[in-house]
Structure 1
Amino acid sequence: MENIEHFIEIGIALSTEKDHQVLLEKILLSAMELSHADGGTIYSVNDKQQLVFDTLINKSLNIHWGGTTGKTIDIPAIPLYEYQQPNESALVSIAATSGKVINIKDAYHVKDYDVTAAKEMDKKNGYRTRSVLTLPMNNHENELTGVLQLINATDETGQVIEFSHSVERSVHALSSLAAVIITNKQLIDQMEALFGSFSQLIAYAIDKKSPYTGGHCRRVPEITMLLAKACHQIAQGPLAEFNLSEEDFHELSVAAWLHDCGKVATPEYVMDKATKLETVFDRIELVIARLEIAALNINHNPKYDTNEKAKRLKQLADDREFLIHANKGGEFFDDDKINRVYHIAKNYPVTINSVTQPVLSDDEVYNLITKRGTLNDKERRIINGHMDVTVDMLEAMPFPKHLKNVPEYACGHHEKMDGTGYPKGLKRHQMSIPARIMAIADVFEALTANDRPYKPPKTLTETIAIMDRMKENDHLDPDLYDVFKNEKVYLTFAHQFLDKSQIDMS
């Protein structure tokens, strides 16, 4: 009956406990109770084929190292093999490599095994090892996951006795069960690590695809997690009840790494468009060349006297500088500037290969009159379309339960609190707090990024002023943004990732 209770207790623990070290310690303690052992050690196998001390307990010596104690076990790992042969200098390595249970009545009177190391340890600690039970922990695929060793079984009077056959069977069953559970947990951990690495791999590929936004997919997760932790720690105000578990933080991190995964389908010529006239090359050079031809036409036109030629050439030079500046897309292009582009296109006809044409083609005009940035309306729709692709990709993935919110978190960073964002036009109440956190992170990174070809990076003062207006215009979540400012999340990030010239506030 006692054995059944032990198995029930350890079974419950194994199915609910998530900490690997705690699990191993529970297994060891249960095995010691089943066998009434005075001491025990549980080992795990590292990637160097060594047995590592995870938890060591000895009641007589009042020792409890490793496990949940946090006390380091300062004992070297035991190699399973020496010179490609099984290490036979330790009972635990013999049991591990042979796969056999070793049950010894008295370690000092055994001839089949080398127990020199055990005797030396006894001498050092003033102890006497007698009965020893060493069991390899093999999973369902007969793979070694660790070794369990018990020392000095005792009877009701406290006398040391050998480990009985029934105790051996019970402890062996326990260790086998534990090995399978631990393997399952290791597989889950490995799958989590794989998926996390895969998420970062996608971000890395996107950054490599576009050298002009090379750090964006790495920096957004940094800002996201800094702000999430700050919100988690707030104990008053609207976010006082907001808390994230370790699993929640992991879920948000995965979402942050995947937030722009749809950009794998965005053409490079759009992502990397540094000027308004850039295609394979910057067509501003062709425009300048045509203007030079126009200047020659003015100089050789007999209708113009010297003063008229000088006047027209000066205007042409001014218009050339205007177009060069307009091509950069660094400032808002108002109606006056747009009308000037149309005027220039009509005012300087040039003849090339006997064909008379405007100095600006229709496509060049269409790109030059772009009001913000370097992307025209068609290209802007292509860029914005990366969110549609992101939604399609992430919502098609069979995320496990603990990552089920990844699509919602990742796909909300271009939404605005007033519902004017994209791709779904969500309003504040329709978005989770983590999704709203990512929206702030994405805006801050975009404004401060120093690797964008179409704009210089903003300083902190400029960035915060812009984001203040975005908060007032109901584009950013006001409560989250207040935490971002008041807890100086921006400054923590800035000291790690921004140029010193950008850090103009404390």
Structure 2
Amino acid sequence: MQIDTPECVLFSGPGVASDGESPHQPADQLLTAGNGSTTASVLLVDALLVDRVGDASALPEHVVIVATDERATAALGRRAELSLAGIADRAARRAMIHAACQLAIARFAVTTSEAEFQELSGIGIGLMREHDRIALLRLIVARCKRLTKSDGAGLLLASQDEDGRQWLRPAVYDFDSIKGELFDPSVRHLVDDTSIVGHATLIKQPVIVADAYDLPPHALFEMNVEFDLRFGYRRRSMLVVPMVDQLDRVLGLLLCVNRKTDPDAKIRTKEDADRYVIEYTKREVRLTRMLASLAAVAIENARLYAQIERALDGFVEASVSAIDLRDPATAGHSLRVAALATRLAQDIDRKADGPYGDVHFTPAQMRELHVAALLHDFGKVAVREDVLLKSKKLPPALWERIDARFDLIGRTIELECCRTRSRASAANVDAELAARLNELERFRGIVRAANEPSVLDAPTASELLVIAARTYERPDGTVAPYLTSDELHYLRLPKGTLDDRERAEVESHVTATREYLSNIPWPDDLRHMVEYAYGHHELLNGDGYPEHLTADEIPIQTRIITVADIFDALTAADRPYKPSVSVERALEMLRAEAATGRLDPELVKIMQESSPSVR
């Protein structure tokens, strides 16, 4: 392995003579390069150069300034680390310059280490923030190329088959000199000593190759020229570093190819490699090992994050299934609302004008909206089933009681007529019986019609009072009304199927949604999801519930879910308590709601513009 030793370059003006052993470079090169100097440097300043040096603030921090005469020493003062003024002995001057070089080398090493540390810290932060697996792997390869100044870099991931054999699969390759797709996803390399990547995996140590076409005699692996032949490329120097996790498992490898002296050079032939490619040094090995450690942690974090996402997705799917099982009449509602809300958000994202022309959703925000829409009715699990599934005004038990009572009243009427048959003509009795039974059936029909969730008209409401005022004699001799007060209470509901108490219980599902979902430790990218789901029954004019929020307090994500929820409730054909309406009629009703200030008119407009996609 080549040992990397920083070189010290001496810069001076024309008035400073070289001692012959250490040639000087023109000071202009350093002064015009400014902070661009990339090596340990010593600037020898005499009286002729001192004015150009000025306060030395434009020079890199690692440059050591040496005053060579009395005037330069006086003019530079503390800015000069060393002074040769008054030293005539050549050996002594040479020793002083050598000391200045050692100081410059040490200072340059510190500066370089600080820069590398800052860069690796930045890389580590960037890797930790990236949870998308493909984007993460590409980021690792890009940083590897930049750190090592390589023409190409790649990342291979380790896996194990059912027979326990270890394999390496290329995940990302990126070469400056090769364009297009570089590997077949089906390609894999067996982990053994026959290849450089397999050998590095087995020994769990970096492998450095100076010339891939001239491997050392002791090398166990061989050079495979298929890659070069296929892509018209020439590999020379190579560096392979395993990515090892905290359990000492190799997750994969970082592969660096052809460290270049010219970042713009293309390496396609042996001549190109001879001209531009140099060996990897201890510096590149050190940096790549640190990057590999960061990459291993980041890849493991991304894997764990993906597992958490899958677990959350599984929970969300199970929750939606639980809601559907709780209320089979609205099964599929949550999925349809989520799909519609997502499409509406995508339509907003594509708009370049209007109130939402500057609104755009990131993938994470889009996912948060989707999850909120899926779980917006989660609190329905806390609503009693007989209320949640109520499709008529009367609870089922009350209707069955009324129906049985009317049957009993019919038998009672028949019995009464039989008793009076002996005291009156049979024809009159039969006529009275038929009339009373017909009336009873008419009453039953009125009750049955009133029990439907339609709007109750005034005549029917009046007739219900008449029916409730009628009485009959029970078998025990007591007198009871045709309709009890609680039955009349439900039948006289002006619309819908729920009374105030039941409606409050159903409306409480939004509060239950917040209470349940707030107890779950959602990841940061879902931190607003509960808020969006909780507010889906709020209206812009404050008429909604439960908080009676107004427009300024309702985020756009909640507004989107609200519009999608109402639209699906209007058009869904699976509601037993109301008929569905057409898409056109639903949009008309949404526009009417927007006109009254209850819904967002811009969202309704966007939905109308994309109405074919909501059918």
Aligned letter for 2:539? K
Is 2:270 aligned against 1:148?
no
Aligned residue in 2 for 1:321: 445
Residue 500 of structure 2 corresponds to which residue in structure 1?
Answer: 377
SS at match of 1:238: coil
Whether the aligned pair in 2 keeps the contact of 1:7 and 1:174 (CA below 8 Å) is no
Letter in 2 for 1:438: I
Match of 1:78 in 2: 188
Partner of 2:354: 237
- 1:102 paired with 2:217, answer no
Q: 2:140 aligns with which of 27, 30, 47?
A: 27
> Is structure 2 residue 589 aligned with structure 1 residue 484?
no
- Determine which of 151, 156, 159 is the counterpart of 1:43: 156
Q: Give the fraction of aligned pairs with identical amino acids, expressed as a percent.
A: 30
Residue pairs, 1:349-498, within 5 angstroms: 349=472, 351-352=474-475, 356-396=479-519, 399=522, 401-485=524-608, 487-489=609-611, 491-494=612-615
Verify the 8 A CA contact 2:243 2:251 in the aligned structure 1: yes
Q: Which segment drifts farther, 90-99 or 130-139?
A: 90-99
Residues 5/479 of structure 1: CA separation in 2 closer, same or farther (3 Å cut): same
Structure 2 SS opposite 1:236: coil
Q: How many Å separate the matches in 2 of 1:222 and 1:38? A: 45
Offset at residue 383 of structure 1 (A): 0.7
- C-alpha distance in structure 2 between counterparts of 1:75 and 1:111, whole Å: 32
The Cα shift of 1:89 comes to 4.9
Shift of 1:31: 3.3
Go from structure 1 to structure 2 and tell me whether the alpha carbon gap of 1:313 and 1:221 turns closer, same or farther (over 3 Å shift): same
Match of 2:301 in 1: 184
Corresponding residue for 2:345?
A: 228
Q: Does 1:277 align with 2:390?
A: no
1:102–1:133 CA contact under 8 A, matched in 2: yes
Measure, in 2, the Cα distance between the counterparts of 1:350 and 1:474. 55
Q: Does 1:210 pair with 2:322?
A: no
Paired residue type of 2:405: R
Normalised by the length of structure 1, the TM-score is 0.82
The structure showing larger relative contact order (alpha-carbon pairs under 8 Å, at least 6 residues apart) is: 1
Which whole-Å CA distance do the structure 1 matches of 2:358 and 2:241 have between them?
Answer: 48
Q: In the TM superposition, what are the counterparts of 1:336-355 in structure 2 within 5 Å? A: 336-349=459-472, 351-352=474-475
CA shift, 1:332, in A, is 1.0
Find the residue that maps to 1:239 and give its secondary structure.
Answer: coil
Change over 3 Å in CA distance of 1:312–1:139 after alignment to 2: same
Which of 83, 104, 113 is the matching residue for 2:220? 113
Measure the CA separation in 2 of the matches of 1:214 and 1:97.
Answer: 54
Residue 425 of structure 1 and its aligned partner are, at CA, apart by 1.0
Distance, in Å, in 2 between the alignment partners of 1:126 and 1:451 is 63
User: In structure 2, what is the equivalent of residue 136 of structure 1?
Assistant: 242
- One-letter amino acid matched to 1:321: G
Distance 1:382 1:33, change over 3 A: closer
Q: How does 1:233-272 map to 2 (within 5 A)?
A: 233-272=350-389
* Structure 1 unmatched ranges of 5 or more: 66-70, 81-85, 495-506
CA displacement 1:376-408 (0-9 Å, x = unmatched): 322211111111212333455555554332232
Instruction: Go from structure 1 to structure 2 and tell me whether the alpha carbon gap of 1:388 and 1:339 turns closer, same or farther (over 3 Å shift).
Output: farther
Q: Larger radius of gyration, structure 1 or 2?
A: 2
Distance in structure 2 (CA, Å) of the matches to 1:72 and 1:264: 52
Q: CA deviation at 1:39?
A: 3.5
Q: Which stretch of the first structure deviates more once superposed, 380-389 or 457-466?
A: 457-466
The verdict on how the C-alpha distance between 1:90 and 1:312 changes in structure 2, with shifts beyond 3 A counting, is farther
Report the 3-state secondary structure (helix = DSSP H, G, I; strand = E; otherwise coil) of the residue aligned with 1:382.
helix
Counterparts of 2:497 and 2:241, CA distance in 1: 69
Q: Runs of 5+ in structure 2 lacking a partner? A: 1-110, 263-273, 421-427
Identify the residue that residue 12 of structure 1 maps to in structure 2. Answer: 122
Structure 1 residue 153, shift from structure 2 partner: 4.6
**1:212–1:451 contact (8 Å) kept in structure 2:** yes
Q: Choose 156-165 or 406-415, whichever is displaced more.
A: 156-165
Are 1:10 and 1:27, in contact at CA under 8 Å, matched by a contact in 2? no
Q: Please, which moves more after superposition, 6-15 or 387-396?
A: 6-15
Q: Let me know the Cα RMSD of the aligned residues.
A: 3.2
Residues of 2 paired with 1:132 and 1:439: CA distance? 58
Q: Which SS does the other structure have where 2:205 is aligned?
A: coil
Contact 2:587 2:604 survives alignment (8 Å): no
> Equivalents in 2 of 1:154, 1:476: separation in Å?
62
- Cα distance, 1:307 vs. partner? 3.7
Aligned residue in 1 for 2:57: none
Give, in whole Å, the separation in 2 of the partners of 1:94 and 1:170. 21
Amino acid at match of 1:63: I
Which stretch shifts more, 5-14 or 226-235? 5-14
Residues 199, 221 of structure 2: 8 Å contact kept: no
Relative to structure 2, which stretch is displaced further, 437-446 or 334-343? 334-343
Q: Which of 429, 432, 435 is the equivalent residue of 1:311?
A: 435
Distance 1:262 1:41, change over 3 A: same
DSSP 3-state at the match of 1:40: strand
Deviation by residue 1:447-470 (Cα, 9 ceiling, x = unmatched): 112222222322223322332332
**Contact 2:208 2:238 (C-alpha < 8 Å) held by counterparts:** yes
Question: Would you say the 8 A contact 2:207–2:240 is kept in 1?
Answer: yes
Q: Does the 8 Å contact 2:123/2:143 carry over to 1?
A: no
Q: What residue number does 2:96 align with? A: none
